[in-house]
Amino acid sequence: MTDTNSAPYVVGIDLGGTNARAVLARRDGSILGEVSHPSESAGPAEGTFDVLARVVAEVIAEQGVKREEVAGIGVGLPGIITPQNHCIWSPNFPHWRDVPIKEMLDSRTSLPSFFLNDARCATLGELHFGAGRGVGSMVFVGLGTGIGGGFVINGKLLLGRNGSVGEIAHHTVDPSGPQCGCGNFGCWEVFCGRDRIVRRAMAKLQLGTESTLLTATGGRDLSPRAIAEAANDGDALAKEVMDEVGYYVGVGVANLINMLNPERVVIGGGVAQAGELLFGPIRRTVRARAVPFQAMGCEIVPAQLGSDAGVQGAVVLVLDRLGEHVAPGAA
């Protein structure tokens, strides 16, 4: 039987629609090894939880660790999770409805498991081991296919009455804007998500604007990365797209600063890898739109952990739920 107080290791899992990635880590967050398998997202929940049990068993075995030396399992997954540890909906798992996620994983692994929305997990990771170290109040913004987020006040992740604080993608920035997948119109996500960035570039190309993107891709298989690379190389159309995206990201960030008065805004996700092409317009827009007193001294910085943010946050999640205080910047 596992003694959760003295067991030296923790498993952290980042569960996505494509892969389930598990790491074995020490309690200080240092990663010892990892295993990844397809997450079987198209099928029923049972198949995905069989995969989770497999990656847990493999990552423990590969490091020569005994199961009783593992304090618990933390899992970050995309979706809405109730305080009773049921996932009532996930955009990546179409057949999941009110899935008893903790019960399903505990029964397969004989280890205590703890679940949190993936963006909130990434927030914990950046707070304790990444760009959030050293601050007590922080906003995390994850820019990718959509937008995820998390809020930290006085060193603690805010969860709210049903654990869903941080759904920043769906605050309205333009009531007359395009319809979002959530049903609302003008959500922040429809201006800054991956697909919208690509559509911006495609619309300009279809107007006949010259661009190296057209010769490099034929207008097909565009991605935010390709657009950012072209902008870095001086392509005028690509730079215009990045300016527009940075503006809309900045509008949302200014709103968050006005509401929460954080010490630091950490921006991560694949889109944020564009660097200063994105951060320049974001900071300019925040200076123009945020209340100066609220924004004074607030840093807007790129995330540091990349794809490790979620799994390292999952490690923190386990220790926190087991009652072990983990101070921001502990590692």
Residue 65 pLDDT grade (very low, low, confident, very high; cuts 50, 70, 90): very high
Give the residue-averaged pLDDT of 156-181: 92
Write down the domain spans for the chain.
9-124+308-321, 131-303
Average pLDDT over residues 67-79: 96
Residue 144: per-residue pLDDT: 87
pLDDT at 114 over 70: yes
- In this prediction, what percent of the chain has a pLDDT beyond 90? 77
Is the predicted pLDDT of residue 329 greater than 90, yes or no? no
**pLDDT recorded at residue 3:** 67
Average pLDDT, integer, range 251-264? 97
Indicate the class that CATH gives domain 9-124+308-321.
Answer: alpha beta
**What pLDDT does residue 5 have?**
74
Q: What is the mean pLDDT of residues 50-67?
A: 97
327 pLDDT more than 60: no
Least confident of 12-16, 124-128, 199-203: 199-203
Fold: same for 9-124+308-321 and 131-303 = yes
Q: Is the pLDDT of residue 331 over 50?
A: no
Per-residue pLDDT band for 138 (boundaries 50, 70, 90) equals very high
Least confident of 1-15, 31-45, 189-203: 1-15
3-7, 38-42, 178-182: which has the highest mean pLDDT? 38-42
**Which whole number is the average pLDDT over 221-225?**
85
If you average pLDDT over residues 290-306, what whole number do you get? 95
- Residue 24: pLDDT over 50: yes
Mean pLDDT computed over 39-63:
97
Give 114's strand partners: 74
For residue 221, what pLDDT band results from cuts at 50, 70 and 90? confident
Higher pLDDT, 28 or 311: 311
What pLDDT does 78 receive? Answer: 92
| Predicted confidence (pLDDT) per residue in 176-206, tens digit | 999 998 899 999 999 998 889 999 999 999 8
**Mean pLDDT on 2-18:** 89
Answer yes or no: is pLDDT of 267 > 70.
Answer: yes
What is residue 101's predicted lDDT score, i.e. its pLDDT?
98
pLDDT at 157: 95
pLDDT (0 to 100) of residue 274:
86
3-state SS record for the chain: CCCCCCCCEEEEEEECCCEEEEEEEECCCCEEEEEEEECCCCCCHHHHHHHHHHHHHHHHHHCCCCHHHEEEEEEEECCEECCCCCEEECCCCCCCCCECHHHHHHHHHCCCEEEEEHHHHHHHHHHHHCCCCCCCCEEEEEECCCEEEEEEECCEECCCCCCCCCCHHHCECCCCCCECCCCCECECHHHHCHHHHHHHHHHHHHCCCCCHHHHHHCCCCCCHHHHHHHHHCCCHHHHHHHHHHHHHHHHHHHHHHHHHCCCEEEEECHHHHHCHHHHHHHHHHHHHHCCHHHHCCCEEEECCCHHHHHHHHHHHHHHHHCCCCCCCCCC
Determine whether domain 131-303 maps to CATH 3.30.420.40: yes
The per-residue pLDDT for 218 is 61
Give the mean pLDDT of the chain: 92
Q: What is the mean pLDDT of residues 264-276?
A: 90
